[in-house]
Amino acid sequence: MKPKRPSIPIPIQVQAYRRRRRGRSRWPWALVAALIALLLIWLVSRPPDESSPQPPTAVSTAQVDGPPWLMGNPEGRFMLTLYADLECPFCREYFPQIKRWVGSNADVALQWQHLPLAAHEPAASTEARLAECAAEAGGHAAFWQAVEWVYAHTRSDGQGLPDGLRYPESTPAIEQCLASEQTEATIRTQAAEATKSGVTATPSLRVLDRQTGQAILLQGPVEGDALLSAMDMLATEDTASGASAIPTSEMPADVVGDMPR
């Protein structure tokens, strides 16, 4: 029988060293786990970073009754009325600009007001009826879609759309509307209201501050900076003055036409 090898007791100092070493090998992992947990909690609970780039404000086409047909924030403080003619070359050039500007300003809504010019008839009213009939069938988004399509395809200056070209989004409801005169009154009423308001050229913009009740009429293509200045002025205007319209540019009342840049 092989004699057992006598066990050699491990010195107390060695045992303590091994315990300390095992403890040291565990604490870095515990620290890493704690840091990861804190990071996850911070990522979940932190508010959105205001310094991070935000996507541009989408243009809203809120489904409310029309006309007038709206683009932007229907609850916004400022309401812009665009007086335009679908055969006006300057309106065609200006429309994409004002659309982008409205889309990047969350406190603004844009509404369209027809002002077909005599020099552009009958094409201007025909295209206005198309936009109105599209909106009657499909709402606000359908109206602006039709406006964009007309501006993209018209020969402008009263020449109208190319012969034989049909609106690709046409439906039986739109065709039935076009065959009737149900939108004629809307177009004529809006045109008469524009002339009565002193609008003498297309495009023109009326900026209304819904909070103060003040408004200003800007005739011609208006740049974004000028619009912001007009809004600032309206926001600080003394409501006790009673002024409801402050034209910034004037033309003879009997002159109605396209407004160049």
* CB neighbour list of residue 44: distance below 8 Å, 6 or more residues apart: none
- 201 forms bridges with which residues in the sheet? 257
**Is 258 a member of any domain?**
no
**Is 85 a member of any domain?**
yes
**Is 222 a member of any domain?**
yes
Q: How confident is the model at residue 46 (pLDDT cuts 50, 70, 90)?
A: low
| Whether pLDDT at 139 is above 80 | yes
* CB neighbour list of residue 107: distance below 8 Å, 6 or more residues apart: 73, 76, 77, 78
The Cα–Cα gap between 76 and 24 comes to: 62
Query: How far does the chain reach from its first CA to its final CA, in angstroms?
Result: 115
**Which CATH number is 160's domain given?**
3.40.30.10
CA angle 151, 152, 154 (to 5 degrees): 65
Range 141-151 burial, b when 16+ CB lie within 10 A, else e: bbbbbbbebbb
- 206 forms bridges with which residues in the sheet? 81, 217
pTM of the predicted protein model: 0.70
**Is 245 a member of any domain?**
no
> What's the pLDDT at 182?
85
**Is 90 a member of any domain?**
yes
> What's the pLDDT at 89?
97
Q: How confident is the model at residue 58 (pLDDT cuts 50, 70, 90)?
A: very low
Domain range for 177: 70-236
| Whether pLDDT at 38 is above 80 | no
DSSP state of 14: H
**In total, how many domains does the chain have?**
1
**Is 119 a member of any domain?**
yes
**Is 243 a member of any domain?**
no
Chain centre to alpha carbon of residue 32: 46
Q: Which of 204, 222, 214, 200 is nearest to 246 (CA)?
A: 214
pLDDT tens-digit profile of 159-189?
999 999 999 999 999 999 999 988 999 999 9
Q: In what order do the strands lie in the sheet with 70-72?
A: 70-72, 108-114, 78-84, 204-209, 215-219
**Is 86 a member of any domain?**
yes
- 188 forms bridges with which residues in the sheet? none
pLDDT tens-digit profile of 207-260?
999 999 999 999 989 999 999 999 999 998 754 454 444 444 333 333 345 655
